[in-house]
């Protein structure tokens, strides 16, 4: 009876030794499957973000909308004894009254000048074509341009393009609707969404998450107010300068310049095109004066106004702004071009707070 037991003992010992000294194949398989699951999950998230990036941009635009109203209401509440709700109500009513008064006072002139601009732009285009035709390279360029007959032959294609423009118009209106209501919902209950984001962070890091979110909100508000002020200055200076130069439709051209100055680098160039084309109707000297006016205003805006109103903000290198604009414009179109700068503001704050401060331990860099 004891002999089988003695024979079993070496067998058990060798089996246990092999289990402890060797690698468990089941454990290795679990690690491989876990790594594979992490990789597949990351790829899935990247694909979802890639396909839904335009939607994320709309959500971000709604957040900017909410940041403006909540930030202004907080500034009013901190300077008065009003509660947050009353401050928000006053800000909302004030903004609505300001927009209504501006539309009521300027709508007739703007509407008239917009109609005049739509009539004058074809004339300006024809005038530019005639001037270009005086040069050899210009005639070659005109000869290679499509003729009216070729455009009429492709009227089916033009119909499709017209329907595309119509659908694009409805798409823009739908986007504005989404941004407006997202902004209203976030403005009404910002704490609800903030708590939801913080709950996704591990418990030891939640205080830091709240600090990061507060810093992002204040930085975006400062950037937004500075940008709105610079847009106002650019619009007013452009309208006054064009009026002094005797350029027609100065008010609507100044309005275009002010709105497009929200887009750094590319916005002023786009705004310059219709102004120069209208000025060419008066002659090349007038067009040159308009170019100098726009260049001077942008120089003042870039070197004086922007550093003055945004001196306490995070600094973004100009090359980084242009790079982000190009990348987002390629992947998402106009909306990405418009929102590239505030997105870079967020990226810079996150890099400085979460990487430079928390990971590298460098506290000398200000956020």
More confident residue, 52 or 269: 269
Tell me, yes or no, if the pTM score tops 0.75: no
Helix (H, G, I), strand (E, B) or coil at 35: helix
Summarised one tens digit per residue, pLDDT across range 171-204 is 667 777 788 888 888 888 888 889 999 998 889 8
* pLDDT at residue 14 tops 80: no
pLDDT value for 312:
57
Contact between 124 and 280 under an 8 Å Cβ cutoff? The reply is yes
H or E element, residue 203: none
> For residue 361, how many other CB atoms are within 10 A of its CB?
7
pLDDT value for 96:
85
d(CA 336, CA 338): 5
Nearest to 225 by CA among 344, 302, 309, 336: 309
Q: How confident is the model at residue 160 (pLDDT cuts 50, 70, 90)?
A: very low
d(CA 351, CA 210): 16
Crossing angle of helices 190-199 and 206-245, in 10° steps, is 130
Nearest to 96 by CA among 72, 129, 114: 72
Residue 325's Cβ-count burial label (10 Å; 0-12, 13-18, 19+) is buried
Contact between 278 and 249 under an 8 Å Cβ cutoff? The reply is yes
């Amino acid at each position: 009876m004891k002999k089988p037991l003695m024979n079993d003992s070496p067998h058990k010992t060798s089996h246990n030794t092999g289990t402890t000294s060797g690698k468990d194949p089941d454990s290795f398989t679990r690690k491989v499957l876990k790594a594979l699951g992490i990789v597949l999950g990351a790829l899935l998230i990247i694909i979802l973000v890639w396909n839904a990036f335009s939607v994320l941009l709309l959500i971000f635009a709604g957040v900017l909308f909410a940041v403006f109203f909540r930030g202004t209401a907080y500034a009013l509440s901190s300077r008065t004894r009003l509660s947050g709700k009353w401050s928000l109500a006053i800000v909302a009513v004030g903004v609505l009254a300001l927009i209504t008064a501006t539309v009521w006072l300027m709508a007739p002139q703007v509407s008239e000048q917009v109609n005049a601009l739509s009539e004058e732009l074809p004339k300006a285009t024809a005038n530019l074509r005639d001037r270009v035709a005086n040069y050899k390279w210009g005639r070659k360029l005109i000869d290679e341009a499509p003729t009216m007959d070729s455009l009429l032959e492709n009227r089916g294609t033009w119909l499709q393009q017209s329907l595309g423009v119509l659908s694009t118009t409805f798409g823009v209106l739908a986007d504005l609707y989404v941004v407006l209501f997202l902004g209203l919902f976030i403005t009404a209950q910002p704490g609800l969404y903030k708590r939801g984001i913080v709950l996704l962070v591990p418990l030891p890091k939640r205080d830091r998450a709240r600090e990061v979110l507060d810093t992002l909100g204040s930085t975006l508000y400062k950037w937004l107010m500075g940008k709105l002020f610079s847009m106002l200055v650019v619009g007013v200076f452009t309208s006054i300068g064009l009026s002094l130069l005797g350029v027609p439709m100065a008010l609507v051209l100044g309005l275009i310049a002010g709105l497009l100055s929200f887009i750094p680098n590319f916005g002023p160039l786009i705004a310059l095109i219709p102004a120069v084309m209208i000025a060419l109707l008066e002659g090349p000297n007038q067009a040159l004066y308009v170019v100098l006016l726009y260049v001077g205003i942008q120089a003042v805006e870039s070197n004086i106004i922007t550093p003055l109103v945004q001196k306490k903000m995070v600094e973004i290198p100009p090359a980084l702004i242009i790079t982000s604009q190009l990348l987002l414009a390629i992947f998402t179109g106009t909306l990405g071009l418009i929102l590239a700068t505030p997105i870079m503001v967020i990226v810079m704050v996150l890099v400085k707070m979460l990487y430079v401060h928390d990971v590298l331990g460098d506290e000398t860099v200000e956020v």
